[in-house]
Structures are given as C-alpha cells and as structure tokens.
Amino acid sequence: MARNFKMNGTKLPLQTLINNLNAGQLKSNVEVVIAPPAIYLDQVRQSVRKDIGVSAQNAFNATSGAYTGEISPEQLKDIGIDWVILGHSERREIFKESDEFIASKVAHALKVGVKVIACIGEKLEERESGKTFDVITRQLAAIAKEISDWSNVVIAYEPVWAIGTGKVATPEQAQEVHAYIRKWLKENVSEQVAENTRIIYGGSVNGANCAGLAKQPDIDGFLVGGASLKPEFVTIVNSHV
C-alpha cells in the first residue's frame, strides 16, 4: 500500500499527516510505504514509525554527476530511504520520460538496493482505441529487458485517465488489466515472478471505492494519490483483504 503525496504539503501539515498515520490501527499484514516530496524525505523517515516504509517519488539512473536537480538511489540509501516510485504517468507525460529511460532507472535503483514501485498505464485515447494491452506490454517489456530479478519490484497499474480526475476504473476493468499483467509476467518472465510480484492499483482510489477494488483477486494493494493527503488513508490500508 503506497501513499504518494506528490508535490503537496509543507513541514507542519505533513507532520500532522504523519502523526495521524503513526496513531492509526493498521492491519499487520499490509506493508505501507509513503512518498513525501524529496525535500521532506529525511524528516519523514525520522518521524514516521519504523514499520512504515518511506519512498522517493523519483530518482536518476546514475550514482553522481552533473545532473542538476536530480537525486541518485545511492543518496536515498544514505538517508535510510528504501523505496522509489519510477515511471509515474506524470513523469512520462510532463517530463517526457521514455519507456527505455524509466527502465534504466529501475535497473539502477535495484542494483543499488532500492526497491521500486514501477508505474505503468494507458491514456484515455489508448483505452478507447483498444490499445490498453499494447501499452502495458510495451512498458513491461522495456523493464523486463533491463532486469532479471523482480523480487524488489512492485508494479503499479495506473490508468492515466483515472489519475486525479475523480474517475476510477471499475473493479472489473482494473482486475482485467491486473490479470493481463500477471499473465504477461508468467509468459515472458517466469511463473514464479508472476505469482510473487505484487500488482497494485492507482487511480483516484479513496475510502469509498477501495473495498470493491480490494476484493479483486489480482489487485494486491493501492498507490494512493489525492486521498493520501486525508485521514481516510488508514481506511484504505485496512480495506486490504
């Protein structure tokens, strides 16, 4: 279960959210990871309870160098950050990150020992033209070309048309794509990877719709955006079945 704050929050409001999470009664069988803005990563790691993971929202595919504004996985490890979100649709669309570039970032983070939430998903026009599975295949194949060990990868399926729009894929729509992802992994990587890789859903998940989504057999959790800024995140965590 991942909580992506995106570029939201300042020091005191974020601490209030952390305090609420620290006090929450969370299911013990659900792994929780939160992703604050980069400038607050150290603050959050120091203040959030130790059973909750902390993730960066992005990282570069190099150890160091003349890459103004970027952060390396090695630097994340240095301050105790064990996760990073890569390939989010906002990185793909706004910053024009290609499948190949994202895959190289995934590979570098894993090599360093940072676990990855790898985001994939189609835009509205791609879904309406029947290209959803083509897009998913292309994005997965790029990652599979660069890595062999999937044990520290979580795949986040995010239909772009449902991110921040208030729209959400129906449980059946989400399950269909999750099942396809698992089938693709089985046929193109291995049956073991298909069985063991967690596939989570992201796209306007909230306290009202999480229970129906959580019941689907191939949805292993959520990547939560807007609702991550609200106390209802605890409800979403505890919706996991």
Any residues with CB less than 8 A from the CB of 206 and at least 6 apart, and which?
226, 227, 232, 236
Q: pLDDT per residue over 117-165, tens digit each?
A: 999 999 989 999 999 999 999 999 999 999 999 999 999 999 998 877 7
Phi, psi of 157, rounded to the nearest 5 degrees: -85, 120
Which amino acids are annotated catalytic?
A: 88, 158
pTM of the model: 0.96
Any residues with CB less than 8 A from the CB of 22 and at least 6 apart, and which?
47, 48, 49
Domain extents in the chain: 2-237
Q: 2-237 belongs to which CATH class?
A: alpha beta
Is there a contact between 212 and 173 (Cβ–Cβ < 8 Å)? no
Q: pLDDT per residue over 53-76, tens digit each?
A: 999 999 999 999 999 999 999 999
